[in-house]
Amino acid sequence: MPFNLLVLACISYAAMLFLVAFAVERRAERGEARWLRSPLVYTLSLSIYCTAWTFYGAVGYAARSGLEFATIYLGPTLVFIGWWWVLRKLVRIARQQRVTSIADMISGRYGKSNMLGVVVTVLNVIAVTPYIALQLQSVTLSFGVFAAAGSEGWAVPDTEATALWVAGGLTLFTILFGTRNLDANEQHTGVVTAIAVEAVVKLVALLAVGVFVVWLVADGPADMVARIGASALGHWDLVPSRWAGLTFLSAAAVLTLPRMFQVVVVENSDERFLPTASWAFPLYLMAMSLFVVPIAVMGLEVMPEGANPDLFVLTLPLSQGHGGLAMLAFLGGFSSATSMVIVASIALATMVSNHIVVPLWLSLRPTREVTGDVRRLVLMSRRFSIAGVLGLGYLYYSLSGGASALAAIGLVSFAGVAQMLPAMLGGVFWRGATRIGAMAGVLIGFVVWIYTLFLPSFGPGAIFTAEFLATGPFGLGWLRPQALFGIEGLDPLMHALFWSLAFNIVAFVVGSLVSFPTPVERVQGLAFVDVFDPERAEPQAWVRGLADAEALLVLAQRILGDDAALGFFEMQAQAQGKAGYLPDPVPEFLDALERRLAGSVGAAAAHAMIAELAGRARVTVVDLMRVADETAQIMEYSSRLESQREELTRTARQLREANEKLTQLSVQKDAFLSQISHELRTPMTSIRAFSEMLREGDMPPDMAANSARIINEEAIRLTRLLDDLLDLGVLENHTVRLSLRLASLTELLDRAVRAAAQTRPERDFTVIRDLPSEALFIRTDPDRLAQVCINLIANARKYCDAAWAELRITVRQRGGRVILDFIDNGTGIPKDKQSLIFEKFARLTDQTRAGGAGLGLAICREIMVNLGGSISYLPGQGGAAFRVVLPLQMKKTPEDEAA
């Protein structure tokens, strides 16, 4: 096969994945991707468990050790069939606590301890980086197979360069789709769907090769069984310790590998997918391993002596002259490698950025306040982390020179990540597990793993000399890395697994038994262990009343983005029965906000940020008592009373607020009445005076003309005032006739800006607009909408008190609605006045009496109600900011249709 054809196939395959991921992200943004989040896609995405190591390596493994290869799939099968035990609980906890990675889960369980998160992150990076290198190696090896088979086309670049290109391409893809947003529980719909497509490709490829081998090379299943019996693989040695140990190890790995945790737990968008995955994923694994032994047997039979059994999947079809099938197999292997690398690097980058970069930044920044755009920082740190992780993988690959040591690294990696198992399962099932215990267990297991397995895996002479391996450090025989305490005869992998987990578990249990947990740990432990008990799993760790809602909003905007933060605050405010964007800082709200932020930056960082604004994180006495079982019931009762009291206080305060508002309104109404009498009276007086003068008749003609002009002007002023009042009346009664038609938003805003320029024309005033985003056609009443815009722009011209007054108009489309924001750079509207400005007769300052009777915003509000939209004041934007929301396509109201 010509090499350039191969490269072309790879590139077009990658381009197809790009398109899939891109199209899915687009649909998801428009909320049309419901079917993409189905049990099927979820199950297929789990298939990243089958990497290139299993795609190519399983056949090689089978050729060497018979059926032992199957243990790698048996463990996950048991874990998924037993989903009711562990997976169900992990998924529920992750959804409730907004877990972003396995490090986040462990650190969250043990009192949101970031130190633990750092340790787990480092462990994962060390354990998984070689695994990524292994994928790069398998892709370059498979390139090499095709390159050796034909010499036409381009010359094959050396393997180093191939690996570099592959690593670069994967970095680009992962950054493009893995770090697009920082939202919604760290879920990546586009990537997951692309992974699901790759899952289908690799399954089809392996099954195709299997069918080819059994039915075309051999004569069907019966012949195949006979050939297996006759081959060198007819008998195999079952080593009991390896058979049981590897099954256990793969079961542990499927729970603790960061990439598996990412797809199984973090990307799970619906718990109801689990029952389906519980049988469908084992079925997938079975299908992947069904033809492994036949391919190995036929490969040994057909291929020349000394051929690499790891590549039989490719070389067997090639040697039989089936280039197309080999191509399919190649794409299958390519899929396995790329999907693993993409998800693994996303998972690792999330951990590195949430547990190392962001906390570091939080502690290093000069001021105590949260300044700058945290979102950008987190996204950038994630992008660099992805590049860093892949760079490390490439470095590992090129340093180890693609040596045979890499082949064993898959299982070495499994044993490394399995060190998190005691802390994870212990944390989920045992309330007594503590941070000290978890830290001790993970650290000691990690160290033993490095000493007994990771470093020796480079081979004698690489890091440990052969002499060191044979006699131990300083001649201490009982410390030999592969025979601790003189226990020999065990396979090195089993030896390391046994000792590392034994030390790990003992340290974890003893550490937990002798230490005393902090209050946050105890509350979190309760929330994790009793996650299915809604009464006990909802701890509140925040004291009420210390945080300022507006400061929290500013913080949330910097992390979640403006829209998401405002939407979240509005929803919370509504849940508390308040209008607007600022909910009361009650513990429930702080708790919900913390979890929402944790979905973006991890539990520990979110906790620290809120702690800074809300005062020290404290667990109330009620919570601690709830932890102590014996008095739980009494305290439960009194806490219920407490919460009822709080509820009453809140209601009372809301009533007081409403009362104040009513009183203010009444005062304003009186003021307005006297003002309107005044406004009516002044022109009336002059009209009367001048008309009387005219009636006298003895006046020079130019003076008479002047008097007539004054009378005319005063009459116009009166009419305008009465017009406004009438307009308001009509709008309030919804009897207004709207003339709906399609209108260009750009033209409409142009018109509004021009018209508003007549207000205080002497003033320097900059309007900042984003023309491309305004290119929308909306079906509405353009004259009425323009009236609203003119009013808002004119208000900004009148009242914006900045030296260089600026007004920013932004337009966005969200679903079927258009959002127009008018934000100026003045001091804004004080908080206590924000609720009044849309009321009739309201005017904020008496000194700026720039005409009008304080009806402008009231009219605007009524117009927007009539147009099926709304207008509201946006707090926390730096200046006065108004948000106008209206439907893209306004429907006729029933009255209009009847009319």
Which positions lie near other proteins, rule CB under 8 A? Answer: 66-67, 70, 74, 77-82, 84-85, 225, 228-229, 233-238, 240, 243-244, 247, 272, 275-276, 278-280, 282-283, 286, 290, 293, 425, 429-431, 529-530, 532-533
- Pull the structure tokens for residue 400: 């180890």
Nearer to other proteins, 237 or 698 (CB): 237
Distance, in Å, from the CA atom of 808 to the CA atom of 800, rounded to the nearest integer, reads 12
Nearer to other proteins, 282 or 869 (CB): 282
- Pull the structure tokens for residue 644: 């009822």
Q: How far is the CB of 132 from other proteins (least distance, A)?
A: 30
Q: What's 736's DSSP letter?
A: P
How far from each other are the two terminal CA atoms of the chain, in whole angstroms? 74
Q: How far is the CB of 483 from other proteins (least distance, A)?
A: 24
Nearer to other proteins, 280 or 767 (CB): 280
Is 882:871 a contact under the CB 8 Å cutoff?
yes
CB-CB neighbours of 459 under 10 Å: 15
Name the packing angle between helices 114-149 and 409-417 (round to 10°).
Answer: 160
Is 381:120 a contact under the CB 8 Å cutoff?
no
Give the H or E element holding residue 496: helix 492-514
Nearer to other proteins, 66 or 117 (CB): 66
Residues in the chain, total: 899
Nearer to other proteins, 16 or 230 (CB): 230
Nearer to other proteins, 226 or 716 (CB): 226
Nearer to other proteins, 230 or 667 (CB): 230
Q: How far is the CB of 429 from other proteins (least distance, A)?
A: 4
Q: How far is the CB of 370 from other proteins (least distance, A)?
A: 38
Q: How far is the CB of 79 from other proteins (least distance, A)?
A: 7
Nearer to other proteins, 429 or 485 (CB): 429
Nearer to other proteins, 293 or 597 (CB): 293
Q: How far is the CB of 598 from other proteins (least distance, A)?
A: 23
Q: How far is the CB of 636 from other proteins (least distance, A)?
A: 16
Nearer to other proteins, 240 or 851 (CB): 240
The structure tokens 């105590």 sit at 368
Is 375:561 a contact under the CB 8 Å cutoff?
yes
List the one residue out of 106, 185, 83 whose CA is nearest residue 525.
Answer: 106
Q: How far is the CB of 446 from other proteins (least distance, A)?
A: 23
Reported as half-sphere exposure (CB side, CA atoms, 13 A), residue 521 has a value of 21
Q: How far is the CB of 309 from other proteins (least distance, A)?
A: 15
Nearer to other proteins, 245 or 416 (CB): 245
User: What secondary structure does DSSP assign to 289-324, as a single string?
Assistant: HHTHHHHHHHHHHHSPTT--GGGHHHHHHHHTT-HH
Distance, in Å, from the CA atom of 579 to the CA atom of 173, rounded to the nearest integer, reads 43
Q: How far is the CB of 281 from other proteins (least distance, A)?
A: 9
Nearer to other proteins, 191 or 428 (CB): 428
List the one residue out of 464, 472, 456, 348 whose CA is nearest residue 412.
Answer: 456
Q: How far is the CB of 279 from other proteins (least distance, A)?
A: 4
Strand, coil or helix: what is 896?
A: helix
Beta strand pairing call for 817-824 and 806-814: antiparallel
Taking CB atoms within 8 Å and a gap of at least 24, the contacts of 459-468 are 459/403, 459/405, 462/405
Is 158:169 a contact under the CB 8 Å cutoff?
no
Alpha-carbon 754 to chain mean position: 43
Q: How far is the CB of 286 from other proteins (least distance, A)?
A: 5
Is 316:295 a contact under the CB 8 Å cutoff?
yes
Nearer to other proteins, 426 or 456 (CB): 426
User: What secondary structure does DSSP assign to 542-602, as a single string?
Assistant: --TT-S-HHHHHHHHHHHH-HHHHHHHHHHHHHHTT--SS-----HHHHHHHHHHHHHHH-
Q: How far is the CB of 247 from other proteins (least distance, A)?
A: 6
Contacts of 676 (CB under 8 A, 6+ apart): 721, 853
Is 341:132 a contact under the CB 8 Å cutoff?
yes
Is 573:582 a contact under the CB 8 Å cutoff?
yes
- Pull the structure tokens for residue 262: 């990412």
